[in-house]
Each structure stands twice: as C-alpha cells, then as structure tokens.
Structure 1
Amino acid sequence: MPDCNHDCSSCNKSCNEREIEKLKPHQNTTIKKIIAVVSGKGGVGKSLTTSLLAVNARRENKE
C-alpha cells in the first residue's frame, strides 16, 4: 500500500503491512518469561498444570 503510514490503530483496511504493537516491559520488573495455559474447553487440567508448573518452579528456586 503506497499510502500506508503504518498507524494500524486508525486504519480500517486489511493489509499485510500491519505491524504488531510491541509492549515494553516495566523497567523494574523481574519477570523474564510468561507461560500461558489455555484451552477452548473446560475440565482439561489447566489449573492442575498451572499449579504443577508453579510448584516445580519453586522447587528449582525460581519465582
């Protein structure tokens, strides 16, 4: 698109040049990685998986 200014928030066109907005982490954060556990269905063990990941991380002295 020759008239594209890459300000996708105000654009109503569908194009391949859209840029994904990158968020900068807070300067005082100690979080290095985020793990998302998702499913489109209930009762598949998301809470169990999340709690086991947390317990294992704590055992390895990770926060």
Structure 2
Amino acid sequence: MFDVAVKLGGTLSGKHGIGMAKAKYLDLEFGQAGVDVPRRIKEALDPKYRLNPGKIVGRD
C-alpha cells in the first residue's frame, strides 16, 4: 500500500512524522541515499548508538 501511495505522489507520514512502524519503508519515499545520509550522520555523532537506541536511524 505504501508503494502505491508514493507512486501517486503521496507520503508515508502525516503531520506527526514517520513513526517506528513505518521506518522500514523510508527507502520507498526517499530512496536508499535518503536513508543512508541520516544514518551516516548518526554514526558520526554517536558511533556506539547510545543515544535513542533502536529508533528510526538504526544500524539496519
């Protein structure tokens, strides 16, 4: 269903953000590069993933 929404110009999220349940579908909307950039920033600032562990930007 998410792929259809994105193909029709829609988005995965509403006004409250993507949420944990839909995080795995971020690449549908933003592409792999759009997912990798925040992950690389997270790794640079928090290489041990201690801040907000297991949330939207995780190790994969």
Task: Tell whether the structures are fold-level matches, with TM greater than 0.5.
Answer: no
Greater radius of gyration (CA): 1
Greater share of helix residues, 1 or 2?
2
Give TM-score, length-normalised by structure 1.
0.30
Give TM-score, length-normalised by structure 2.
0.31
